[in-house]
Chains A and B, each alone.
Chain A
């Protein structure tokens, strides 16, 4: 399957400003549209996004949120930036991820799960079949239990995969979760037309 590969610049090059600030585009220029989603993740990365606290007010002067768990919009329109939390553990994740790739100019993998598979990928050492038998059939009190097969339930993959194995990813923002400050720095760099760059202090884990 092919993916869109052209990665255009953001629509409005913002005047560069000092670190941590965002300058409003002049007049009523079009706002930057951001979409976010959580695949096989814990929403921790989204919580961390909210951790930018009052800086959110500055941010929403510049950006509009499209599909995100915050807006409850179900499908992406054309967006400038897509931020994906969590890895790919089932078929539905693939549909969502492809929608993001097809509609977002810049796709960002946020957090260890999106980048490496993270905590959910710990199941990769366990055979899927054995795992489901254990949970749905052998566990005490489950006489006659069977593996749920409702078509509404997304079908799980054998293994959990990082998102770059399914679509092309433009930026990786590591952390579990990345701190609010790291997310802020990343977004302001992006919005100001700079190549996002995080200092060591914002990257190290211990």
Chain B
């Protein structure tokens, strides 16, 4: 292991500390910088960070151990993480990863002997429309093929800094294929704010209410209700009226840009090309609930967007759309800070996100109390999805009735879908709610579609028999993912990929999910290796029931969906793989004795099973 002198470490830490307040909520951000500087978090740094923030060492270690982009052991100077979503796998990820490993003389999951490079897998990076994708030291590599990997291997061997690699490797396209009111109509920064200020805060909340906007992050909670709960919490506390005074320092607006659900990448596009719309929606929210501080929680995978987002914020400050006295109103100040995540799907869950914002492990809180009453630092906090805020800006500008006229009764407006998998034109499609799956499949040029995973692994799998169903909260609710599978795809492998994802991303706090997701994974692997029996299927059904009913948060309660859906809709894919026997051991009994046989040199009858 690399050795660091104490003085080296403090020399490295001093400028990092200088960039951050001495507030434990900065802990995760500091650790990210240390990881960058050293390619891991040295034990000595943990001591000094703990001392700096005056927190116990175990808190710092706990955080460093929780996030998958942080590591307490050295990773390669060049750390390559291949996106492991099923869509990347369908595009040949496994084979390409081995190809690169062979070129670089490194085993998957290990660091090369000279410490130069490590290659491993990571959960979906949100580039499914231009996969297979990977991250090199946090920077996205798209459209990988053997040619590109040859080039990358060469760049690494010649130790070229990632900043000097050819930009073409890092090109991320928006791939907007169908646009409607959100993506297709021009937006002038400040328009929604002016309308809000002219109309008044209470009246703007009434417009959001009239629009019937529901959260785009998955759960579909009515946005106006959430905001008025936040408002009610403040009124209860202070006995004051909403927004009569300007921004209050102790209520918060948080934009959830964690976008961890495999197959979802619409927030990436909104942040890349429509950031003004999103920030403006947050500012409208701030005016309505009376917040003076906002956070954008940006998933670590989208760190490449950080710089340009910062500059959008800066431009808005200069234009008087953020900061003190917004648009000249002395009673209205609001600013936005960007917090980076570090590779943890669970941090998309709103209370885990807040824990992470506060610099801790992303562990979901007990709810209630909900974040609207007890959120960031125990204060009323509104957490909404990126797309939700974009919709809010449009509603503030054009009115609730205009918005409510689109879509269906329970699902107004439009929805961004991130389409990937077996289709001719993967990318972003904006549709009014109510569109049929069949229509979408035709538009994206799906070839012989057989099944669609709607809203990612935690969503719903539908078979070709259900293609007349509609995207809407009344029928098929979705956070945006839409992965298309052809007939030739093995739906068992799809489910197995998702099951591995959940086992990897379970935060480990509650037993039903920590153990349940791991058991699911074991059974799916057992079936994949040809040792599955009918009793394993029964076992997975009862496990599914436990996960659904006993888990602490939404991750655990949806972790069985891929298995239960495939068992219901494609039972054949399991049955074909089962042994005819009623029971098979879960592992290779004789093989598990091999180490001991080598160790003892024994080969007698009792040394075999």
Binds A, one of B309-317, B356-364, B470-478, B584-592: B584-592
B595 at interface (Cβ–Cβ under 8 A)?
yes
Contact of B599 among A128, A159, A165, A167 (CB under 8 A): A128
Check if A161 sits within 8 Å of B595, measured CB to CB.
Answer: no
- Smallest CB gap from B605: residue in A: A151
Contacts of A161 in B (CB 8 A): 586-587
- Are the C-beta atoms of B599 and A132 separated by less than 8 Å? yes
Tell me if B604 is interfacial: C-beta within 8 Å of chain A. yes
Q: Is there an interface contact between B589 and A94, defined as CB atoms closer than 8 Å?
A: yes
Contact yes or no, B597 A155, CB < 8 A? yes
A-contacting residues, B409-465, CB 8 Å: none
- Contact of A128 with B581 at beta-carbon distance under 8 Å, contacts A151-B607, A161-B587, A166-B589 already known: no
**CB of A156 closer than 8 Å to a CB of B:** yes
A145 interface residue per 8 A CB criterion = no
In the complex, what residues of A have CB within 8 A of residue B582's CB? 2-3, 5, 168
Interface size class of B (residues with CB under 8 A): 20 to 34
Q: Is the CB of A147 within 8 A of B595?
A: no
Check if A156 sits within 8 Å of B583, measured CB to CB: no
Cβ contact within 8 Å between A154 and B583: no
B405 at the interface (CB under 8 A from A): no
Alpha-carbon distance between A5 and B579 when the two chains are bound, in angstroms: 14
Q: Is A50 an interface residue (CB 8 A)?
A: no
B583 pairs with A149, CB closer than 8 A: no
Bound-complex Cα distance A200 to B59 (A): 34
Q: Which residues of A contact B592 (CB under 8 A)?
A: 157-159
A148 touches B606 (CB 8 A): no
Contact yes or no, B600 A158, CB < 8 A = no
Residue of A whose beta carbon sits closest to that of B594: A158
Q: Does A1 touch B at the CB level, under 8 Å?
A: yes
Judge if A91 is at the interface, Cβ distance under 8 Å: yes
CA distance A60 to B582 in the complex (A): 34
Contact A157 B583 (CB under 8 A): no
Query: Cβ of B602: which chain A residues have Cβ within 8 Å of it?
Result: 149, 151, 155
Q: Is B550 an interface residue (CB 8 A)?
A: no
Kindly provide the distance from the CB of B493 to the nearest chain A CB, expressed in whole angstroms: 23
B609 CB–A CB distance under 8 Å: yes
Interface contact B601-A166, CB-CB below 8 Å: no
Interface size on A, residues (CB 8 A): 26
Closest-by-CB residue of B relative to A156 is B596
| Distance in angstroms between the alpha carbons of A165 and B589 in the assembled complex | 10
* Contacts of A175-191 to chain B: CB distance below 8 A: none
Which of A91, A92, A161 has most B Cβ within 10 Å? A91
Given A128-B595, A129-B599, are A151 and B604 also a contact pair (CB < 8 Å)? yes
Tell yes or no: B535 within 8 A of A by CB.
yes
A167 to B584, CA, bound (A): 7
The answer on a CB contact under 8 Å between B585 and A155 is no
> Given A129-B599, A157-B592, A158-B592: A91 and B581 within 8 A (CB)?
no
Q: With CB as the reference atom, state the residue of chain A lying closest to B600.
A: A149
The answer for the CA separation of A157 and B585 in the assembled complex, in Å, is 14
Are B589 and A148 interface neighbours, CB within 8 A? no
Q: Does B401 contact A (CB under 8 A)?
A: no
Closest to A95 in B: B609
Task: List residues of chain A with CB within 8 A of the CB of B600.
Answer: 147-149, 155
> By the criterion CB–CB under 8 Å, are B583 and A91 in contact?
no
Residue contact A155 to B586, C-beta cutoff 8 Å: no
Q: Is the CB of B599 within 8 A of A1?
A: no
Q: Once the chains are docked, how many angstroms separate the CA of A148 from the CA of B606?
A: 14
| Chain A residue nearest in CB terms to B586 | A165
Chain A residue contacts of B173, Cβ below 8 A: none
Q: How far is B607's CA from A148's CA once the two chains are assembled, in angstroms?
A: 13
What CA separation (Å) do A161 and B595 show in the bound complex?
A: 16
Determine how close the nearest CB of chain B comes to the CB of A138; give it in whole angstroms. 14
Contact call A129/B595, Cβ cutoff below 8 A: yes
A12 to chain B, nearest CB (A): 26
Is the C-beta of B593 less than 8 angstroms from some C-beta in chain A? yes
B601: chain A residues within 8 A (beta carbon): 149
The answer for the CA separation of A165 and B604 in the assembled complex, in Å, is 25
Q: Whole-angstrom distance between the alpha carbons of A1 and B586 in the complex?
A: 12
> In the complex, A155→B593 CA distance in Å?
7
Residues of B contacting A155 with CB < 8 Å? Answer: 593, 596-597, 600, 602, 606-607
Q: Is the CB of A166 within 8 A of B596?
A: no
Residues of B within 8 A of A159 (CB): 592
Cα(A91)–Cα(B600), bound, Å: 14
Contact string against B for A residues 84-127, beta-carbon threshold 8 Å, 1 for contact and 0 otherwise: 00000001101000000000000000000000000000000000
Can you list 28 A-B contacts with CB-CB less than 8 angstroms, sorted by A residue number?
Answer: A1-B585, A2-B581, A3-B581, A3-B582, A5-B582, A91-B593, A91-B606, A128-B599, A129-B599, A151-B602, A151-B604, A151-B606, A155-B593, A155-B596, A155-B600, A155-B602, A155-B606, A156-B596, A157-B592, A157-B593, A157-B596, A158-B592, A158-B595, A161-B586, A165-B586, A166-B586, A166-B589, A168-B535
Nearest first, the 7 A-B pairs at minimum CB distance are A5-B582, A165-B586, A149-B600, A168-B583, A3-B583, A157-B592, A155-B596
Q: Given A157-B596, A158-B594, 19 other A-B contacts at CB below 8 A? A: A1-B584, A2-B582, A2-B583, A3-B581, A3-B582, A5-B583, A91-B593, A92-B606, A94-B609, A129-B595, A129-B598, A149-B600, A149-B601, A151-B607, A155-B593, A158-B596, A165-B586, A166-B589, A167-B583
